[in-house]
Structure 1
Amino acid sequence: MTAATPPGDTTTQLKRGFGWLAVLGAVLVAAGLVGLVYAGVATLTSMLLFGWLLLIGGLVGLLHAIQARGTNFFWLGVIVAALNIAAGVVVVRRPDATAAALSMFAALLFLSAGVFRLVGTLVVRGTHFGWTLVLGAFDLLLGVLVLANWPSSSQYVIGTFFSLALLFDGLGLVATGYGGRRIVGMVSERLAGDTRPGDGPGDAHVKPVQPE
């Protein structure tokens, strides 16, 4: 039988884990801020990262398809892997063109989302009418701004979105790590207070018997 881990060691491990989570969040926040300052570099970096991920995913999918040869999955796996590899090669070789295409796609998404949100808000007029109307107008304005400056806007649009994603994910990890450490500390203090000498089941005080 293995000995149980002492409660103090478990608390220390939990605090250390949440601490590393907060450190990772701080790194992501720093990377997001740097990416917002150097949006062009962030766009190129995100495109190259996206291309290499497609290449690696295609190669791994091709290996899985080869292992599954003789089954119905083989040809489907080969086709999907080939498409991923081809897309990865294009993205790595032409990251600027890929960024321009993705920026156009993002602008069209913002435009369509803004139009549908505005029309739906004006027709339904729900409880969050004002807030939804503002969001729809913001989506529409963002799509118009990206399209108005396209393709020059593609140099910073993808990098800005990528950096914002890093920033908000990092803030979430920092909040989780800090909050987790506080909760673990509060729980450990509460348990230490509940198990102080004299309060345990074996430490009950026995009232002495008075002689008659």
Structure 2
Amino acid sequence: MTDVVVRRRRSGVDIVMGVLLVIVGLVVLAHVVWSTVVSVVFLGWLALVGGVVALVAAVFSIGRGGFWATALSGGLLLVRGLMLLRHTGAAILALTLLAGSLFLAGGIVRLVMAFDRGAPRAALLLSGVVSAVLGLVVLVNWVAASFTLLGVLLGAQALTDGIMLVLFGSARVDRRPELVGADRVER
């Protein structure tokens, strides 16, 4: 069994990506309805293309294992893409409900992680509270304000994640086999 050490690192790439996320968050917040519709249409085209690619991959795997699973998943992905593109309004409602659930779950996880030893407590608490509150707002108002709310939530989440990345960087996991059996306390 190897000991795993998680370290925080902040590099130039983290800062650049964080600044780009902040800029994207501000642009999305400036055009919330447009960004909501564009994101749903983008997801529809992504699912459509992914379904076609999976179906083509299934054709090339005829006679080998996995044909039916690949063909079925490709067909379902193709249908999902068509439904997202054909019924954009209903897709926005469904994705708003999904986004609210994900924001709430992500916020709860960050709040729990804030009490882990060695974690950046203040940043995780702030980010967790923002994500949980945004999730609750979506789940309470998911029908009434879905066209604007999804854009606002996506922009706020990008802005929060960008600030977190600039301030604290990203995590790096090191596996240290020389620590096997050693009694080591992480601070």
TM-score, normalised by the number of residues in structure 2:
0.61
- Structure 1 pair 144–32 and aligned structure 2 pair: CA distance change class (3 A): closer
Supply the RMSD in Å over aligned alpha carbons: 3.3
- Structure 1 pair 120–52 and aligned structure 2 pair: CA distance change class (3 A): closer
Distance across 1 between alignment mates of 2:47 and 2:109: 32
Q: Which residue of 2 aligns with 1:102?
A: 95
Q: Does 1:134 align with 2:126?
A: yes
Q: What is the CA deviation profile of residues 107-161 of structure 1, one whole-angstrom value per residue up to 9, with x for unaligned ones?
A: 122223334444565xx46454444333332222111222232213321244345
Larger radius of gyration: 1
Aligned residues: 141
Question: Equivalent of 2:147, from 155, 165, 171?
Answer: 155
Structure holding more strand per residue: 2
- Matched position secondary structure for 1:151: coil
Distance across 2 between alignment mates of 1:90 and 1:107: 21
Distance across 1 between alignment mates of 2:64 and 2:84: 31
Greater RCO (CA < 8 Å, at least 6 residues apart): 2
1:51-130 equivalences under 5 Å are: 51-118=44-111, 121=114, 124=115, 126-127=117-118, 128-130=120-122
Distance across 1 between alignment mates of 2:103 and 2:76: 27
Tell me, which stretches of 5 or more residues in structure 2 are unaligned?
1-15, 166-187
Distance across 2 between alignment mates of 1:75 and 1:102: 28
TM-score, normalised by the number of residues in structure 1:
0.54
Identity of aligned residues (%): 31
- Asked whether the equivalents of residues 39 and 160 of structure 1 are also in contact (C-alpha less than 8 Å), the reply is yes
- Asked whether the equivalents of residues 103 and 146 of structure 1 are also in contact (C-alpha less than 8 Å), the reply is yes
- Asked whether the equivalents of residues 118 and 137 of structure 1 are also in contact (C-alpha less than 8 Å), the reply is yes
Structure holding more helix per residue: 1
The one-letter amino acid of 1:134's match is L
